[in-house]
Amino acid sequence: MDRTKLYRRFRTLLIANRGEIACRVIRTARAMGLRTVAVYSEADRDAMHVALADEAVLLGPARARDSYLSVERLIEAARKTGAEAVHPGYGFLSENAEFAQACYDAGLVFVGPTAEMMNAMGSKSGSKALMEKAGVPLVPGYHGDAQDDTTLAKAAEKAGFPVLVKASAGGGGRGMRIVRSAAELGPAIVSAKREAKAAFGDDRMLIEKYVDNPRHIEVQIIGDSHGNLLSLFERECTLQRRHQKVIEEAPSPTLNAAQRETVCAAARKAAGAVNYVGAGTIEFVSDGKDVFFIEMNTRLQVEHPVTELITGVDLVEWQLRVAFGEALPLKQDEIKLNGHAVEARVYAENPTKNFMPSVGRISTWRLPAETGGLRIDAGYRDGDSVSPYYDAMLAKMIAWAPTRDVAIDRLNRGLEDSDVRGIVTNIPFLSALITHPKVRANAIDTGFIERELAALTSGAPAPGELELCAAVAAIVNDERRAAQGEANSPWQTFGWQPVGRRQRNFALRVGHGPEQKIALNYGSGPSTLVIGERELAFTVVPKDGGFDLTLDGVKSSVAAVIDGHELYLRTRNGRFDLHWVDPFGGETDEQTGADKIAAPLPGTVVAVLAEEGAKLEKGAPILTLEVMKMEQTLRAPYAGVLKSIKCKVGDIVQEGIELAVVEASGE
Ligand code: ADP
């Protein structure tokens, strides 16, 4: 095929994907001066990638088959918008040779390899045969055409148990079984074939020696249409759950320089065997010493940012330049390895409930700034919804540093400084994982997460004195912020003193645990917190995302978010989720007597429910205040006549202010 027809300059790029990868591709395409076209399903009307692109085309219903997987609708979207090229991202149709061909047939540039290259590398058996010919090391095993029981049994016997039975067409760990003895082989083949037939429409199997304590090591490669092919070092992706990567890093901490050169050379040989064009990944399994080819992915990978951070190369930019028909801008010896990068995949899922996906609206989305070596590739924003139709990956957090240890610490700090609410995320799990001593020591294999699951999901410790005090400080700080902008707000200076000394009581609990009581004393003199017998002096200095709490003479930084009654805190002891039991209870205040209709806390009047002059029963509603995002209705303290209402809807009222007067009927 004439490559000048395949690859040529274009001005408008359609991104046939969604979520973070669509956003990621749009960012670089825009920086290169291209016009970008997003596509979306009905579930993604308000998605971030749609907002970022210059144009967006509705493909169809939420179901991927009717939208992101519809070749016909994607080609039609390109035609409608005048797009000249298509970037497939990863997943969906990114490794689908028919899609690459359909783009070509429609006169579009496909940002990736040709359909022929995909076909050559698409089956594990086919690619292994190619690699064998090219002299790339393979795991001992069988990848021939004959599929009868005797051939497969002999192959397994020859490789030596344990073996892996793998679907040749497989992906995502499906159609794969570990077999530890000859007796297990027959049934394993039957069930793997059944799964492969259903998932891929192809039940051909291959047999591989199961590598003990396996590690996953892969090499990033990229080729252009002028015959240049480069490797951009390797990534280690050994931290997996159910054969899905969770944490990836570059370079691999397992390899020394000589092994690094060996694996990169093997990868170049592998890609060279098909004169590969575009970005791709050669995957190897390793026993920590040697590496064995397992498969090639003919697309950009989720974990490409770790490679970008250690090489300084924007892989999407290079993909686009290759698609323009340009030659790669660097030579192999100009690609330098600098420092270390680690990536964590942030998912909407619940690690304590078997990683069940979590769907719903994101009510808080606070991620740290991309400074100090931190990069965040996100596909969601505050207020977005996570739908049940697609992969639940929300974002990737990637940290770079000169050394692996510092990169891990930076990543952990970034995770700890993140707060996503409304849905459950795996952020605390990721923190626990990357700070695990065995991960730090690189004493891992692909089974590590499964083995350590209980320890990795055990959750936070019980809140101590610091956390209880921080919770009260967070509530007070939030109230003060709500009252800001009002002249003479009593909360503006802490220790405001209306009449004498006042006490406010708080009750907090974790989950359904016992209530823990804490009292705030304020008024004349410094404010104090009382827990049991202890009375502690404290001060609060607000800052972005929380405050500095000085407690008993020690200052510490607290990240805090309040969502209704739920408090999220991060202190030096970790993450804590607390429930504020009764924000309006326990107020002992000489000023706000039971008979007075006054604001219990600073708030906003959201409804006036009775008219002046109305006759009221005891307990009749008079007005509703919104306090701390909660509505509270103030009621008649006794039967009588509503003499006056001293506020209107929309007023921001201070604590203790009289809002209405009821004259007792005297009966
Ligand atoms: P899929 O395409 O379904 O993801 P792969 O062949 O890429 O399947 O394998 C997925 C994962 O399974 C690898 O990352 C590795 O952890 C593990 N694996 C694959 N082959 C072997 C093997 N021969 N021995 C041990 N582990 C393996």
**Residue of 121, 218, 243, 448 best suited for mutating to test ligand 1, as the one with most atoms within 8 Å of CB:** 243
Cα of 135 vs centre of ligand 1, distance in Å, is: 20
> Which of 394, 425, 421 shows the shortest CA–CA distance to 23?
394
Asked whether 287 and 214 are in contact (CB, 8 A), the reply is yes
The mean pLDDT value for 115-138 works out to 92
Cβ 173 under 6 angstroms from ligand 1: yes
Please report where in the chains the tokens 């991060």 appear, as a residue: 570
pLDDT of residue 582: 67
- The answer on pLDDT for 500 being more than 80 is no
Cα of 131 vs centre of ligand 1, distance in Å, is: 16
Cβ 522 under 6 angstroms from ligand 1: no
How far is CA 627 from each of CA 264, 283, 478, 615, rounded to the nearest angstrom? 61, 56, 11, 27
Cα of 67 vs centre of ligand 1, distance in Å, is: 30
Cα of 244 vs centre of ligand 1, distance in Å, is: 10
The Cα 451–Cα 303 span in angstroms is: 24
Helix, strand and coil content of the chain, in percent to the nearest 5, comes to: 30, 35, 40
Q: CATH fold of 3-111, please?
A: Rossmann fold (3.40.50)
Is 465-580 a domain of CATH 3.30.700.30? Answer: yes
> Of residues 462 and 233, which shows the higher confidence score?
233
Q: Closest Cα to atom 6, ligand 1: which residue?
A: 294
Peptide bond into 437 cis (omega under 30): no
| Active site residue ranges | 299
The mean pLDDT value for 369-379 works out to 97
The Cα 112–Cα 107 span in angstroms is: 15
The mean pLDDT value for 426-443 works out to 96
- Choice among 17-21, 283-287, 574-578 with the minimum mean pLDDT: 574-578
> Which of 463, 476, 474, 477 shows the shortest CA–CA distance to 577?
463
Cβ 175 under 6 angstroms from ligand 1: no
390-421 per-residue burial string, b: 16 or more CB within 10 A, e: under 16 = bbbbbbbbbbbbeebeebbbbbbbbbbbbbbb
What are the sequence ranges of the domains in the chain?
A: 3-111, 140-209, 217-239+253-456, 465-580, 597-664
**Where does residue 339 rank: exposed (0-12), middle (13-18), buried (19+ CB within 10 A)?**
middle
Cα of 285 vs centre of ligand 1, distance in Å, is: 7
**3 state SS for 353-393:** HCCEECCEECCEEECCCCCCCEEEEECCCCCCEECCCCCCE
**Residue of 121, 123, 176, 284 best suited for mutating to test ligand 1, as the one with most atoms within 8 Å of CB:** 176
- Choice among 127-141, 250-264, 367-381 with the minimum mean pLDDT: 127-141
Name the CATH code of domain 217-239+253-456 (choices 3.40.50.300, 3.30.2310.20, 3.30.470.20, 3.90.850.10).
3.30.470.20
pLDDT tens profile 128-159 = 999 999 899 999 999 999 999 999 999 999 99
Cα of 170 vs centre of ligand 1, distance in Å, is: 10
Beta bridge partners of 604: 626, 652
> Of residues 6 and 667, which shows the higher confidence score?
6
**Residue of 218, 246, 285, 286 best suited for mutating to test ligand 1, as the one with most atoms within 8 Å of CB:** 285
Please determine whether the domains at 217-239+253-456 and 465-580 fall in the same fold group of CATH: no
Q: Backbone phi, then psi, for 507, in 5-degree steps?
A: -125, 130
Cα of 243 vs centre of ligand 1, distance in Å, is: 7
Q: Backbone phi, then psi, for 373, in 5-degree steps?
A: 85, 5
The class of domain 597-664 in CATH terms is mainly beta
pLDDT tens profile 473-488 = 998 888 877 776 554 4
Cβ 192 under 6 angstroms from ligand 1: no
Judging by DSSP bridges, how do beta strands 215-223 and 278-286 pair with one another? antiparallel
**Where does residue 201 rank: exposed (0-12), middle (13-18), buried (19+ CB within 10 A)?**
exposed
What single letter denotes the amino acid at residue 205?
M
Cα of 44 vs centre of ligand 1, distance in Å, is: 33
- DSSP element (H, E) containing 515: none
Cα of 292 vs centre of ligand 1, distance in Å, is: 11
Q: How many C-alpha atoms does 572 have within 13 Å on its Cβ side?
A: 9
Kindly report the number of other CB atoms within 10 A of residue 614's CB atom: 15
**Residue of 174, 208, 294, 450 best suited for mutating to test ligand 1, as the one with most atoms within 8 Å of CB:** 294
Q: Closest Cα to atom 23, ligand 1: which residue?
A: 210
> Which ligand 1 atom is at minimum distance from the Cα of 212?
25
What is the pTM for the complete model shown?
0.81
Please report where in the chains the tokens 């027809």 appear, as a residue: 5
Beta bridge partners of 236: 217, 249
Listing DSSP states for 516-562 in one string gives EEEEEEESSS--EEEETTEEEEEEEEEETTEEEEEETTEEEEEEEEE
Asked whether 571 and 555 are in contact (CB, 8 A), the reply is no
Question: Cα-atom radius of gyration of the chain, to the nearest Å?
Answer: 31
> Which ligand 1 atom is at minimum distance from the Cα of 209?
23
- The answer on pLDDT for 269 being more than 50 is yes
Cβ 216 under 6 angstroms from ligand 1: yes
Listing DSSP states for 176-237 in one string gives EEEE-SHHHHHHHHHHHHHHHHHHHS---EEEEEPPSS-EEEEEEEEE-TTS-EEEEEEEEE
Cβ 164 under 6 angstroms from ligand 1: yes
Cβ 208 under 6 angstroms from ligand 1: yes
Cβ 295 under 6 angstroms from ligand 1: yes
Percent of the chain whose predicted confidence (pLDDT) is above 90: 68
Is 140-209 a domain of CATH 3.30.1490.20? Answer: yes
The mean pLDDT value for 105-123 works out to 95
Confidence label for 498 from pLDDT (cuts 50, 70 and 90): very low
- The answer on pLDDT for 494 being more than 70 is no
> Which ligand 1 atom is at minimum distance from the Cα of 173?
3
- The answer on pLDDT for 468 being more than 70 is yes
Cβ 294 under 6 angstroms from ligand 1: yes
Kindly report the number of other CB atoms within 10 A of residue 148's CB atom: 8
pLDDT of residue 287: 93
Confidence label for 585 from pLDDT (cuts 50, 70 and 90): very low
Cβ 139 under 6 angstroms from ligand 1: yes
- The answer on pLDDT for 496 being more than 60 is no
